[in-house]
Amino acid sequence: MLTGAVRQIKIWTSWLEHCMIAVETEAGPQLQCRRSDQWRTRVTSADTSEQVDARLDRPLLVLGALMAAGTFAAALDATIVSLALDSIRSEFNTPIETIQWIITGYLLGIATVIPVTGWAVDRFGARTMWLTAMGLFLGASLLCGIAWSAPSLIASRVLQGFGGGMIVPIAQAVLARAAGPSRVGRIMALVTIPTQFASVIGPTLGGLLVETTTWRWIFYLNLPICLIAGVLAARLLPPDEPQREARLDLRGLLMLSPGLALLVFGVSRVADGTTAVLIPVAAGAVLLAGYVVHARTTPHPPVIDLRLFSTRWFRTLAAIMLVYGGFFFGAVYLFPLYFQQARGHSALQAGLEVAPQGIGLLLMVFLGGSLADKLGPRPAMLGGLGLLALGTLVYTQLPADPPMWLLLTALAVRGAGVGLCVGPLMAAVFQGGLPKASIPRATTAVNILQRVGGSFGTALFAVVLTSQAGAHDDATPADFSHTFWWVAGLVVLALVLTLTLQRGHPAAASADD
């Protein structure tokens, strides 16, 4: 493990050095237009060439650094907030099922805005939409920091989700176009390294802020990060040509986004035990069914092009992405809450205890990307999901009071599993033979599924935990143990789905059905 850590540090250091050299070379007091034109030409040629060089060259690394600067802020926010939930619950005197909406509301905001992101990138250009997303995320973070009640904080988190929801798919689409199929696994993994570094420092930093200041600073921390990332992007991100003729599928958007939101809302209210929850679930299902009919009959490009699902490869990946989002984002909510409620630890202690998961991820994330480029995504995903299942099963034995070293080791194993999965899972979307013109909308589709899965997973786990805890203010180890069985079940489901994936690189996946 130590050797792997040293290797990852060397890779990351070398990457940062390349990026700094490239920034110094490509940007100057007047942006050195001639060199910038060369950079844009080289990136564009990487996008259009039939035979893409397998080397990660300087222009691609610079582009990756710019994208990582923005995604780092969104990733840091997600990991920090989970450590503050117990403090927010105490300050606003609200139950667990309400506080979980701080996580679910953010994911719902993401799921709502992602459908329009693909169109917006086509219509206004990736550079314009990237700066818009960063500005929206910054403003919403400020509103979260000054929230005066739980409802105001949840509303601000939904707005923050609108900004954060655009950041990731824009970054993925830009990098996938520039890298090509032969390099997409490694560039996604390299960009994931600093982004996922947030999962290492996020919990500890969040716990430290909650203990020494107030939970509000977990949102104020986003302000300088977003400002720096926005300035760098405005100065260095090459402009692209917007497609003025791109048309928004407004009718489809008005069915898809509310339908998803109503379904998640209905699931989150199952613990109430009333038939009233059937109303939003039924309404959401009707809207989604209407969208399916609309998408299959409209003569214009729909929000999600259902033709993407005509191949078995993409259908399977879509199902895996949905399940993966459920157990990954849902578990982000559970682990810090367990250490604070069931173990009685402080926010800072809980942050330090959750950190091994991020360390395990960093040790394995580049290996996962490399395996995806060489062998295809299936082997790395199977290994990663196996580790995730093993690490999660330890937390199903909480009533037996496992020793702390075992719990922390299990978190590191889970992190290693995520590291092996995350790069191959995203790269698999772009290694399935999709034409480059379909990449933005394919990225939109898989991100919607992942975030919707996260919304469902968070809501589901909160319902299970709340129903187990009953009238108690804090859940017991047995309550958490029962909930983690649901997490483990979703991991096993993803593992079974991955076994059905085609071996190797499915270059001709579009022709298998």
Could you tell me the pTM of the whole model?
0.69
Are 152 and 295 found together in one domain?
no
Q: Are residues 185 and 279 in the same domain?
A: no
Q: Per the domain annotation, does 348 fall within a domain? A: yes
C-alpha 513/C-alpha 510 separation (Å) is 7
Do 292 and 310 belong to one domain? Answer: no
* Tokens (6 digits) for 283: 């309404």
Q: Please state, in angstroms and rounded to a whole number, the distance separating the CA atoms of residues 188 and 158.
A: 27
**DSSP helix, strand, coil percent of the chain (3-state; round to 5):** 80, 0, 20
Same domain as 108, residue 158: yes
The pLDDT score that the predictor gives to residue 83 is 75
Mean pLDDT of the chain: 76
The residue with greater pLDDT, 245 or 320, is: 320
On whether both 452 and 393 belong to a single domain, the answer is: yes
If asked whether residues 274 and 357 sit together in one domain, one would say: no
193-217 pLDDT tens trace? 666 667 667 777 877 888 888 889 9
Q: Is residue 313 exposed (0-12), middle (13-18) or buried (19+ Cβ within 10 Å)?
A: buried
Rounded to whole angstroms, the Cα distance separating 476 from 366 reads 37
Question: What's the pLDDT score for residue 447?
Answer: 72
Do residues 334 and 465 both lie within one domain? yes
* Rounded distance between C-alpha atoms, residue 191 and residue 235, angstroms: 20
Query: Which among 70-84, 301-315, 372-386 has the top mean pLDDT?
Result: 372-386
- Residue at 490: amino acid letter: L
Rounded mean pLDDT of 346-365? 81
Based on the structure, what is the number of domains in the chain? 2
* 505 and 466 part of one domain: yes
How many beta carbons lie within 10 A of that of residue 17, not counting itself? Answer: 11
Mean pLDDT, range 84-97, rounded to an integer: 80
Name the band, by pLDDT with cuts 50, 70 and 90, for residue 142: very high
Range of the domain at 363: 15-35+56-236+245-249+300-511
| Boundary residue ending a domain (299, 315, 339) | 299
Task: Tell me the three state secondary structure of residue 471.
Answer: coil
Residue 204 near residue 112 (C-beta atoms within 8 A): no
Instruction: Provide the pLDDT confidence category of residue 485 given band limits of 50, 70 and 90.
Output: very high
State which of 106-120, 183-197, 269-283 shows the largest mean pLDDT.
Answer: 106-120
My answer on whether 438 and 331 are in the same domain is yes
CATH number at residue 95: 1.20.1250.20
Residues 485, 354: contact at Cβ < 8 Å? Answer: no
Look-up: residue for tokens 């982000």?
332
Q: What is the pLDDT of residue 390?
A: 94
- Return d(Cα 475, Cα 472) in angstroms, integer: 7
State whether 207 and 275 are in the same domain.
Answer: no
